[in-house]
Structure 1
């Protein structure tokens, strides 16, 4: 009998934010995101200059937990989720730990997309979801081996997740997704008339 094993696993962590840390109200978080976006002229200018649809605080704000207490609570919760994921990944962190490197808001309007990318120089990246209206795009994750599959046939319909070249995950408000930062991902076009709102983050080994 042949022995077929699955090697080089790509883990994806999916949980309710409320499973760890202080309770974070998504409606209050949504209000805070809009309030910050309205006041962040530097972020608005960056989005316009770089053709970014909607709004992101990625290039403008580094102190969200200081500005709004709800973001400080969010970080406490994320710290616990990341610790749980790191343990599941069996990382040997030695005398260091995984610490928050950056945290930013994403408000993606109808028709907005975020092209395929990775998060270099970080260990764990992720997103927690604030508003996911009907028609909002799922997160698209790419098999990291894809560029090596030059002559591979397509997979059969209904293939197991670990054999698919792409996986689509449709989170709900209050969910958190974590993955290793080298995993390529993107946000396809938002087909909803309403904004898709999320808060993304990176953790580094420090």
Structure 2
């Protein structure tokens, strides 16, 4: 009898931020995100000069966990989730460890998008979701083999999830998603009237 197995699996980690014992008040986190965005003139300037929709602190504030206590608490929570994901991935870290490299705020207004990208030089990347109003964009994940499927026909619309070219993940407020940093992803058009707020991050091997 023929045997068909799945090889080279792409893992996606999804959990509640509070699942591993940390209690983060998402209302306080949302308020902090908007307060920081309002005061971050350098970040506002960068977004304007680079035609970035809404606001991100990616290019301006690199030390949020050291500036604001709630982001320090968030870092501790994320450390636990990343440790759990790394264990699932069966990484052999040797004498090293996975350490937070950067963490930034994203505020995406109605009509805003974040184009397809990867996170070079990092090991694990992810996002935790602070505000997801009705109509807010899902996270779109791309099959990492896409560039090599030069002559492949399209998949059936009802194909199993692990065989789809793209998978859309609709997170809820308080969720954390983790993936390996080479996985291409994007945020499609935000159809919500209110802002979609999230905090993204990278972990490196040190």
TM-score between both structures, scaled by the size of structure 1: 0.99
Aligned to 1:170: 170
Q: Does 1:45 align with 2:45?
A: yes
Deviation at 1:150, TM superposition (A): 1.5
8 Å Cα contact 1:116-1:185 kept in structure 2? yes
Q: Does 1:113 align with 2:132?
A: no
Partners of 1:191 and 1:198 in 2: CA distance: 16
Aligned to 1:124: 124
Partners of 2:50 and 2:170 in 1: CA distance: 27
Partners of 2:20 and 2:201 in 1: CA distance: 17
Deviation at 1:104, TM superposition (A): 0.1
Q: Deviations over 1:80-130 (max 9, x none)?
A: 000000000000000000000000000000000000000000000000000
Partners of 1:157 and 1:109 in 2: CA distance: 30
Q: Does 1:27 align with 2:27?
A: yes
- Listed as ranges, the gaps of 5+ residues in structure 1 are none
Aligned to 2:154: 154
SS at match of 1:82: helix
SS at match of 2:44: helix
- Listed as ranges, the gaps of 5+ residues in structure 2 are none
Q: Cα–Cα, structure 1 residues 188 and 39, in superposed 2: closer, same or farther, change >3 Å? A: same
SS at match of 1:19: helix
8 Å Cα contact 1:118-1:182 kept in structure 2? yes
Aligned to 1:14: 14
- Please list every run of at least 4 consecutive aligned residues from structure 1 whose deviation after the TM superposition is greater than 6 angstroms: none
Deviation at 1:21, TM superposition (A): 4.1
TM-score between both structures, scaled by the size of structure 2: 0.99
8 Å Cα contact 1:21-1:76 kept in structure 2? no
Q: How is 1:50-129 mapped onto 2 (pairs within 5 angstroms)?
A: 50-129=50-129
Corresponding pairs, count: 206
Deviation at 1:151, TM superposition (A): 1.5
Q: Deviations over 1:26-76 (max 9, x none)?
A: 110000000000000000000000000000000000111122111011000
8 Å Cα contact 1:21-1:73 kept in structure 2? no
Partners of 1:22 and 1:126 in 2: CA distance: 17
8 Å Cα contact 1:53-1:108 kept in structure 2? yes
Partners of 1:79 and 1:102 in 2: CA distance: 12
